[in-house]
Structure 1
């Protein structure tokens, strides 16, 4: 069984699809989404550090690597034993303290697909529900079915940069991933996103 914060994070991963009808179609919203699309499409890879803030007040941290299309790795620092790997088809949760097989989810059924796809088009994806701007940041709320939860993506405005995302489960519990550092468009070998290789390191 995963710790509560890990279960909430994974529940958020599986909460969203990409088949809803966008409600941010007015001119200003469409312009903002186009700006964010351009930023995400220019970001072909990234690496850095993150802090995870859980609904119970606890925190965890680690390192992440992203390579488009479809590749991602989040490695939690000890004492948290988990690694989350996306290999382009599946998102796997690996528990380094267990010999159990990784739990896997199709990446196309997770909100990660919005960030990791080769070309991002948030307006056409149909999941954007609300756009808000405050204190130099833009927040996008996305949800395919509000009964399953929702996702927030937070961007700095000037210069534009992805700073965090928040998964919100149907009970209103929030799990925040804050990207505390980011280096973009770096060389990352595809083999580092192998689920099988990561599982063998336990």
Structure 2
């Protein structure tokens, strides 16, 4: 998604429903996850990205809710993704045509960048499981499921967002693994100003 361009049930499984119930019971509630995301107003840290073609990228991520996120990719990539002002722009140093741009509300990332995250909305969450140490929640825009979905992984204690897998409208999956994410970071608005970034890249 960042490029625009993550056991079948048989008789044995059906015979042990308590195992499934136990795993579900340990999952962080949707209200608790919504509250965590709503309290996460700013954050920055490192990330490792697994692209749809299996290649890896690394860099720094900056989050400023609502509606703003920035990915700065390390060499040899050196690209940039900025979301701000309701738009997403992808800057590629190999391109001579300017950044690709599209509306933020047409990407699954908008779900975690909304002013008020409410995962309890009807038809938003399509998966909610736990392995005992982490909770995985798959969510989509209930009004526009064709835009794809985001699968988020949270640690249970304390509740922290650790990674997500975005499946975009073409079916391409991109995994972002967060590391050393620092909440409450002071982040200037200029980092999410697409016009200012275009001017910088053109000079």
Give me the TM-score of the superposition, normalised by structure 2: 0.78
- Structure 2 match to 1:91: 88
Q: How does 1:175-190 map to 2 (within 5 A)?
A: 175-190=174-189
State the alpha-carbon separation in 1 of the partners of residues 111 and 43 from structure 2.
15
RMSD, aligned α-carbons:
2.8
Q: How does 1:49-198 map to 2 (within 5 A)?
A: 49-124=46-121, 126-144=123-141, 149-168=148-167, 173-198=172-197
State the alpha-carbon separation in 2 of the partners of residues 185 and 159 from structure 1.
16
The answer for unaligned runs of 5 or more in structure 2 is 7-23
Number of residue pairs aligned between Structure 1 and Structure 2:
182
State the alpha-carbon separation in 2 of the partners of residues 72 and 59 from structure 1.
20
Q: Secondary structure at the match of 1:37?
A: helix
Give me the TM-score of the superposition, normalised by structure 1: 0.79
Larger radius of gyration: 2
**Higher RCO (Cα < 8 Å, 6 or more apart):** 1
Q: Secondary structure at the match of 1:197?
A: helix
Q: 1:48 aligns with which of 42, 45, 49?
A: 45
Taking a change above 3 Å as real, the CA distance of residues 171 and 191 of structure 1, as seen in their structure-2 partners, is closer
Residues 29 and 131, structure 1, Cα contact 8 Å, conserved in 2: no
Deviations 1:117-163 (A, max 9, x none): 11111112632101010141111112357766432111111100001
State the alpha-carbon separation in 2 of the partners of residues 150 and 28 from structure 1.
24
State the alpha-carbon separation in 2 of the partners of residues 76 and 182 from structure 1.
16
The answer for unaligned runs of 5 or more in structure 1 is 13-26
